């Protein structure tokens, strides 16, 4: 049997730089990229479009099972199509992130998305970005990174990202949202946000994007 393609997992709280770092790493290595947060976001969006009650776990799980979603690599990372419609911008709103973190607490939804996530592990390799990539989805990953940064710094980065996209947001409100979402992700019963036992924890508060990419590339160079 052919050896499975290598995986680098990049987990951590929102705004720690996972998306940017994972995209740059995948590009540098010529590997595939899994943005697992986008799967939870698109599930939340599909449920909203169908008018599903978020307290109805069976209905939300049906949505996750039946998702007609396509992830297409593009210059900005990945474009996301839901039932043929480009929803790449729509899923990035704070409101959609908030709903995503609610659907992500449902074990049956996580199970429904598991195989879709594992299907990304194809040659020549995969960079997987999320909350439980190293702990649950790819426990045998060759390299596991846990990126973190102070909540204030993460709120500042999200603020800049949104402003750059022309979306106006309040920094203090963003910090509250990030803290609330962290708490939900860390304290949920299924697949809580935490570093895998064998993860390398990288605090990016005072590191530049280039420094983090260089650090992770060096770590991979020593293994790969």
Residues forming contacts to ligand C5P in the complex (CB under 6 A) are 14, 36-37, 40-41, 97, 100-101, 104, 130-132, 181, 185
Q: Which is nearer to ligand C5P, 3 or 119 (CB)?
A: 119
Residue closest to ligand C5P, measured at CB? 37
Contact 37, 96 (CB under 8 A): no
Q: Which is nearer to ligand C5P, 6 or 185 (CB)?
A: 185
Contact 193, 185 (CB under 8 A): yes
Q: Which is nearer to ligand C5P, 41 or 159 (CB)?
A: 41
Query: CB of residue 221 vs ligand C5P: minimum separation in angstroms?
Result: 26
Query: CB of residue 205 vs ligand C5P: minimum separation in angstroms?
Result: 18
Q: Which is nearer to ligand C5P, 77 or 130 (CB)?
A: 130
Query: CB of residue 193 vs ligand C5P: minimum separation in angstroms?
Result: 7
Query: CB of residue 36 vs ligand C5P: minimum separation in angstroms?
Result: 4
Query: CB of residue 87 vs ligand C5P: minimum separation in angstroms?
Result: 13
Q: Which is nearer to ligand C5P, 6 or 77 (CB)?
A: 77
> CB neighbours of 66 closer than 8 A, spacing ≥ 6?
none
As a whole number of angstroms, the distance between CA 157 and CA 175 comes to: 11
């Amino acid at each position: 049997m052919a050896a499975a393609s290598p995986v680098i997992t990049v987990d951590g709280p929102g705004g720690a730089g996972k998306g940017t770092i994972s995209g740059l790493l995948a590009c540098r290595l010529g590997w595939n990229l899994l943005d697992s947060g986008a799967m939870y976001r698109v599930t939340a969006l599909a449920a909203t479009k169908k008018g599903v009650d978020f307290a109805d776990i069976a209905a939300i799980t049906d949505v996750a099972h039946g998702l007609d979603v396509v992830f297409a690599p593009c210059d900005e990372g990945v474009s996301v199509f839901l039932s043929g419609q480009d929803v790449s911008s729509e899923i990035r709103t704070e409101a959609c992130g908030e709903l995503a973190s609610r659907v992500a607490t449902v074990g049956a939804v996580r199970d429904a998305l598991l195989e879709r996530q594992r299907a990304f592990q194809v040659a020549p390799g995969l960079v997987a970005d999320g909350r439980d990539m190293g702990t649950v989805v790819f426990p045998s990953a060759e390299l596991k990174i846990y990126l973190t940064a102070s909540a204030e710094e993460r709120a500042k980065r999200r603020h800049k990202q949104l402003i750059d996209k022309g979306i106006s947001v309040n920094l203090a409100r963003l910090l509250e949202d990030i803290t609330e979402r962290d708490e939900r992700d860390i304290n949920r019963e299924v697949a809580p946000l935490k570093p895998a036992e064998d993860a390398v924890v990288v605090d990016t508060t005072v590191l530049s994007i280039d420094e983090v990419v260089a650090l992770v590339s060096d770590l991979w160079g020593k293994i790969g």
